[in-house]
Amino acid sequence: MDALQAILTRRSTRRYDQRIPAKDIIDKVVEAGRHAPSGHNNQSTHFIVITDPKVLDRLVDLVTEAFSAMEASPDMYVSMRNSIERAKKGEYVFHYGAPVLVVVANRIGYGNAMADSACAIENMMIAANALDLGSCWINQLHWLTDNSRIRTFLQEIGLGEDETITGSMALGYSTDGLPTRTPLERKGNPVTVVSS
């Protein structure tokens, strides 16, 4: 698959089987993230690659606990409200049970933390598609980056005390075999062309 096709056919996959992809395949995806551009070539994006099911289960518990303790309100961002409502029902697996979760972090206070991380996550998602793996941006750990129990747990597995969680990415084989690739109609993202 060429680069443009990998970009144009990338979609979010939300159903994963439990096979952990081979280490060299995961490494290729993460390398694509590490090769993303960064402001002033800062290269401070940190990739915490979790394949240990016990660690993932613990994270699911901590995220569920954090959202269950929150109250949903109508003025809330809809995805956040959904997370709270589903957590309270006890049916919330925030990373869709993917066998790999790449938690992405960056320096607290660094102005390009989110921009650099987004470039890295998009690179990884495109690489995943090129390698026939499904992926999905998972934002819950970013929202919960200041939750003390989640921070403490993530610091035990490598998060720096000076780092904030900017996002994460689920990765694995789709239960459908190949990653979701059905094109999504573009209704937004307007383009303004100014030519002579």
Interacting residues toward ligand FMN by CB under 6 A: 11-12, 14, 79, 136-140, 184
Rounded CA gap, 48 and 167, in Å? 11
Tokens 């998602």 sit on residue: 125
Which of residues 189 and 195 has its CB atom nearest to ligand FMN in the complex?
189
Which of residues 143 and 153 has its CB atom nearest to ligand FMN in the complex?
143
Among 102, 101, 106, which Cα is nearest to 43's?
Answer: 106
We find the least distance from the C-beta atom of residue 49 to ligand FMN, in angstroms, to be: 18
Phi, psi (rounded to 5 degrees) for 150: -70, -40
Assign residue 132 a region (left: φ > 0; alpha: ψ between -120 and 50; beta: otherwise).
left
Which of residues 12 and 68 has its CB atom nearest to ligand FMN in the complex?
12
Which of residues 137 and 153 has its CB atom nearest to ligand FMN in the complex?
137
We find the least distance from the C-beta atom of residue 41 to ligand FMN, in angstroms, to be: 23
Cα 173 off chain centre by: 15
We find the least distance from the C-beta atom of residue 63 to ligand FMN, in angstroms, to be: 11
We find the least distance from the C-beta atom of residue 11 to ligand FMN, in angstroms, to be: 3
